[in-house]
Amino acid sequence: MNRLYYFFIVTFFVGSSYYLYADAPVGDFMALWFAGHFYDIGVFTEIYPHDLTHFTSTVSISWLEYGLEIDPEITVFPFIYPPIWAALFSNIIHWVDLNTTLTALHILNPLMMIVMIIFAARTCKTTFSTPRFVAIGGVLIFGTTIGMLPLIFGQVQILVSMILLIAIERLRNGSQVTAGALFAFAAAIKVYPALFLIFLVVRRENRAVASFIIVGGGFGALSILIAGWPLHVLFLEQLNLISNSVLVNTINLSVDSLIANIFQFDALTDKVTSSSNGKEATLLISAVTMAKPAIWKALNSGAILLSLISLAYITCRYRDDVAIWPFALIVIALLSPIAWVHHFLPAAAFAPMLLSRFPTKVGLYLLGGIFAPLLLVLTPIYASWGDTIRYMQVAGFLSMSLLAAAYLYLILNSPQIDTSNR
């Protein structure tokens, strides 16, 4: 019977997603395609954005010109992934045409979301069935900006989120080697999962740590061998640029973005790049940006360090409570310079467990209060409140903070584990 339920769940969500987003701009995925193109023709200096004083989420003129050759209405965002993926896509663009790739993408992305929720259910082991958990999780994620926007943009975060959920499930079920390798794989795509190595170390998950180091080191060595060190220098410069920038728009839910959004600092300036014929081809959602002042950098670094220490302590003291993982995912995202709404995908996948671990009515109120503000249909309502402060961003931040608070409540009310003899 479960197989039949899964069939209907997959058919409904994948089918609905394909119907709604088959013609979506997939600007994030196109960044991989464009990077592959410039890697293929040997113009390595155009793979990453350049000549910027701070991160603006815009691309170079050469990218815009190439985009206009493909489609005058194309949307593309910057490439900020490790160089190995540019090298890989330099081959993929010759193996398969773009239309076929996009068709596969629109099927695989919602499917990976379902797999992500299934592994969240297997990790939580709630009082209700896995199909019910997946159905609830599907409604919460596919029905809000957390899932809708990454499907529209073709975000690689969907793949990373699925990998992270599988890694957490494997770790919870004793497969440390597999878990460590998966955490490393996720970090090789988006760097932030590397922070989970800290938790593996303090939890003394030694086989997972060894697996992470071996697989992660292998990815790093392979990337340098294939793409060369100079391109990695450009990549590291991009990461440094992002960490020293503040970007405010409706879908960046970071603490940095919230502060700048509320106080509207004079240093914030509009940064929209246009193509040669005047058509905007880079930003689907407008943003204002600024370089991060020195005192801000210092305070931000201190907050991140303190949070990592606190999270490491919590993961040891309450190591058997599954809620530590989504809580950590939210905290790490909120303190990052860029916390796009889709960065909360893996944390949101655990949300149905609130119905199991809280009284049913409390769980329902929590889920409603957390996810209702993230409905895409509310966008024009938020916009009608004024165009100075981005209220949709404030609502998203508060929603994710409430979800983190719910997870923290569960953690603090779970049995503590004595780690003195571990």
User: Which percentage of the chain shows pLDDT scores above 70?
Assistant: 93
Q: Please tell me the predicted confidence (pLDDT) of residue 25.
A: 82
| Among the ranges given (21-30, 84-93, 135-144, 333-342), the one the predictor scored with the smallest mean pLDDT | 21-30
Which residue carries 């499917």 as its tokens?
111
pLDDT digits 0-9 by tens, 125-138? 777 888 899 999 99
Q: Domain residues of the chain, as ranges?
A: 2-412
Query: 88-117, pLDDT tens digit by residue?
Result: 999 999 999 999 999 999 999 999 999 999
Please tell me the predicted confidence (pLDDT) of residue 333.
96
Residue at token pair 């190439």: 66
pLDDT, mean over the chain: 89
What pLDDT, on the 0 to 100 scale, is given for residue 266? 65
Q: Would you state the pLDDT for residue 57?
A: 79
Q: Rounded mean pLDDT of 211-223?
A: 96
Helix extents (H) in 228-317: 229-243, 255-263, 294-317
Looking at the chain, the whole-number percentage of residues with pLDDT higher than 90 is: 68
Angstrom distance (rounded) from CA 230 to CA 238: 13
For position 343, what pLDDT does the model report?
96
Q: Is the pLDDT of residue 13 over 80?
A: yes
**pLDDT value at position 249?**
85
Which is higher by pLDDT, 105 or 53? Answer: 105
Q: Residue 245 forms beta bridges with which residues?
A: 291
Which pLDDT belongs to residue 51? 72
Contacts of 349 (CB under 8 A, 6+ apart): 116, 117, 119, 120, 137, 141, 161, 165, 326
All residues at 6 or more sequence positions from 146 whose CB lies less than 8 Å from its CB, including other chains = 140, 341, 342, 344, 345, 348, 371, 374
Q: Which pLDDT score is estimated for 271? A: 53
Least confident range from 52-56, 88-92, 342-346: namely 52-56
Question: What confidence tens digit (pLDDT) does each residue in 277-319 have?
Answer: 334 433 335 677 888 888 999 999 999 999 999 999 998 889 8
CA distance 235 to 86: 11
The answer to whether 162 and 193 are in contact (CB under 8 A) is: no
C-alpha 160/C-alpha 112 separation (Å) is 10
Q: Which pLDDT does position 273 carry in this prediction?
A: 42
pLDDT at position 155 over 70: yes
Q: Please give the backbone phi and psi of residue 201, each rounded to the nearest 5 degrees, phi first.
A: -65, -50
Measured distance CA(246)–CA(403) in Å, rounded: 24
Q: In angstroms, rounded to a whole number, what is the distance separating the alpha carbons of residues 415 and 324?
A: 13
Asked if residue 398 has pLDDT above 80, the reply is: yes
Q: What is the pLDDT of residue 419?
A: 46
